[in-house]
Structure 1
């Protein structure tokens, strides 16, 4: 990878997070990262922060990049791809990070022979703790897919999944940080109600969620088993768990994810 050029069209939060992770991991040197955006002020900030090459011309990025990341909103994919598709030669891999843009839709815009990896990262990439799904088309080689995986693992974790599962991934990973933030906020509100200062309540709540997730990942134990370890007979925790069950906590989460998946499918069909 250290001889490859990684290009970004778009420099929003996710694009910026990816660039930071790539450079922090030493995946490629800064001189081999190039970013295009119409926001000159944002480009100046990124150049000063990372020492990367910046431009307002997407075609310049498409020309230079071996791995081209489309970090723009889904609604501008068509005009962006149309403006660069003549530059998407056999040696380049196009990486999509947008919801609702299927491999077939991108191929229809860019050309059937273009190598495409559809991905779904999430916002914890901003703190190098992201999770991403990768869905390559059949033009992408194993080596190229390994390089794409290395890009995403520079700021978190990544798994290759078949595209038909991507809507489920969006429901439980791409969108789920929002649900977790709501949970942390609710926990903190309850702490404030119990008398804790707001900032202290937020820290206790967030660290509890962080630590619990770490236990699931590092122990390999089922979440139900870890939950049971906290619940003493007749104790405070089982009292709270009983209330959550009575209020439909788990069924509400499942329904929320189901609705998110349905929305993702509808967006893909619309595209």
Structure 2
């Protein structure tokens, strides 16, 4: 984290994900005075100012002294935000967390190829994010390490080998929290149908999800092995899993993630076409 702590970091866009990263960086020891956030919304600037970071609505002024610039805006406004900044990124590392924005698209808008593309996910808001990162070979190892340090302030960082794999990351972890929330919703509803109070069903479901994730993270066994360890022959777990298998839940999950990956590819193409 030492390299990141000696940098001036600018965020273009101060929404939830930017705020998560800012909070994580400050908690890791980056002085708030080294952070600048540019956002057009006054309420957002006021909220961030409470963290003692510099705030502005002037993007050009915001990036002037930055070593690292994090793009954290909505995809649909990316072109309008970046076109006035083209040519102003010399000597700066760009980290983009803009969904669907390919490196070539960002490079054309900024005039630089010193870009790390990131697919984060919302658990970053509670410092348990899972971030997929990609950069071309023109980005030096020290800058890749710097990007890892910035993102690791809010969770796990995983580098992928090709930009196309970012679409797979989007399908697995970017959209992934919603799949688990969906499962939680269903289990809570089932608990209520079986006679449990909603608060009881909710508490049991959420703690079980947390415990299962923690076991999977800390165990030397794979999730498949852990599942088998919980499943006694002719027991209650087997009865439930047999229903899952008859409904082809595993196959349907794989089909669903493939659909998410395809949509990620489509959105990237749409964004690329709109910025030409």
1:208-223 map, 5 Å: 208-223=208-223
Partner residue, 2:247: 247
Deviations 1:108-161 (A, max 9, x none): 1112x4310000000000010000011112332111111110111111010111
1:42 to 34, 41, 44: 44
Deviations 1:3-33 (A, max 9, x none): 201111111111111111111122x110001
Query: Do the aligned residues in 2 keep the contact of 1:6 with 1:66 (CA within 8 Å)?
Result: yes
> Does residue 148 in structure 1 map to residue 147 in structure 2?
yes
Unaligned runs of 5+ in 2: none
Partner residue, 1:24: 27
**How large is the RMSD of aligned CA atoms in angstroms?**
1.2
1:81-230 map, 5 Å: 81-89=82-90, 91-111=91-111, 113-162=112-161, 163-230=163-230
> Does residue 59 in structure 1 map to residue 60 in structure 2?
yes
Deviations 1:242-264 (A, max 9, x none): 01111121112111100000011
What TM-score does the superposition give when structure 2 sets the normalisation length?
A: 0.93
Distance of 1:261 and 1:62 partners within structure 2: 33
Partner SS state of residue 88, structure 1? coil
Query: Following superposition, which runs of at least 4 residues in structure 1 exceed 4 angstroms of deviation?
Result: none
The structural deviation recorded for 1:269 is: 2.1
Distance of 1:259 and 1:208 partners within structure 2: 28
Deviations 1:22-48 (A, max 9, x none): 11122x110001101111111111111
Unaligned runs of 5+ in 1: none
Partner residue, 2:231: 231
Distance of 1:22 and 1:52 partners within structure 2: 11
Distance of 2:52 and 2:197 partners within structure 1: 41
Deviations 1:56-93 (A, max 9, x none): 1111221121111110011111111112123111x201
> Does residue 80 in structure 1 map to residue 87 in structure 2?
no
* Aligned length in residues: 267
Single out whichever of 59-68 and 228-237 deviates more from structure 2.
59-68
What TM-score does the superposition give when structure 1 sets the normalisation length?
A: 0.95
